[in-house]
Amino acid sequence: MAILCQPYYLNSEVCGRRTRYASTGAVLNTQDFERPRNRWPWVASLLRDDAHACTATVITPVYLLTAAHCVTRTPETSTEAIESTRLKVEVGAAHSRLEVKEIRLHPSYQTGRSPRNDIAFVELQTPLVYSAELYPACVADAQLNARVHAVVFNRSFERPSFAYEVVGMRVSPECRAQVSECPTLQLSKSQFCAEGRGGGSVLLVRGSSGGPFLQNLVNESVTEAWTVSGVTSSSSRTVDCSVPVFTNVHLFSDWLKDSVLEFMSKLTLP
């Protein structure tokens, strides 16, 4: 049953705010606060057949955003979603594993080594409950701002539990040009590539796919609004070239909003 007293729409008033801890009179465990899982509470793991496979982002109490290739039968060739019973979501400091109700791929998703329109929804069986320790991320609905640096979540591979390293990145200024080290890199209008904040390549390992390219898009009235501007899609990897490629989220904002509104239209009072 849906909990109607919390917002189910995108970009609610609490989105993009990192965890706050209320004082209880006890000593605050600052080490715990600095753990990535607590600083970025909307970052979740997708488990295929109980094995950590990809990353996702909480954007509403029932929806997580990820890459479409993460939730297809075979990531590089299939355009059919896997059975929802084979997928679970791990989110929050408690490492809770949640059941999935439905998987929705973008209708124009195309497979390949650099998949196009690589974006999907994962709908939870039971809604999350927002708290002081769990907020959703905001979702980009305006053109990508290449001047704002971002953070990306690089899966700590070969760990039995879900863990990641936070990596600072920026949109690559050469993204639309033919990069001399990457002559085979070809991007569609729905994609962009990125590099380390100081320049140079960044290798995102397997399991990082589906995670957010997060920018803190603040303004005069909002001091913190971590926003999913991209979804980690693929990586061009050769001896001289390692370029992460992201799905440009704002180009899919109408599809995202329509999907969320469709869900909200089905909510009924208890």
Can you tell me the distance from the alpha carbon of 83 to that of 100, in angstroms, rounded to the nearest whole number? 9
Domain ranges of the chain: 32-136, 138-252
CB atoms within 10 A of CB 108: 13
Mean pLDDT in the chain?
83
Identical fold between 32-136 and 138-252: yes
Say if residue 26's pLDDT is above 90.
no
Can you tell me the distance from the alpha carbon of 27 to that of 201, in angstroms, rounded to the nearest whole number? 41
Task: Note the pTM of the prediction, 2 decimals.
Answer: 0.88
Burial 5-20, CB ≥16 within 10 A → b, else e: eebbebbbeebbbebe
Q: Are the C-beta atoms of 209 and 228 separated by less than 8 Å?
A: no
> 74-78, 153-157, 197-201 — which one is most confidently predicted on average?
74-78
CA 185 to chain centre: 23
Summarize pLDDT for 93-117 with one digit per residue, the tens: 666 789 999 999 999 999 887 799 9
Report which secondary-structure segment, H or E, holds 64. Answer: strand 63-66
CATH number of 138-252: 2.40.10.10
Say if residue 265's pLDDT is above 50.
yes
Class (C level, CATH) for 32-136: mainly beta
pLDDT at 222: 82
CB atoms within 10 A of CB 123: 17
SS3 137: coil
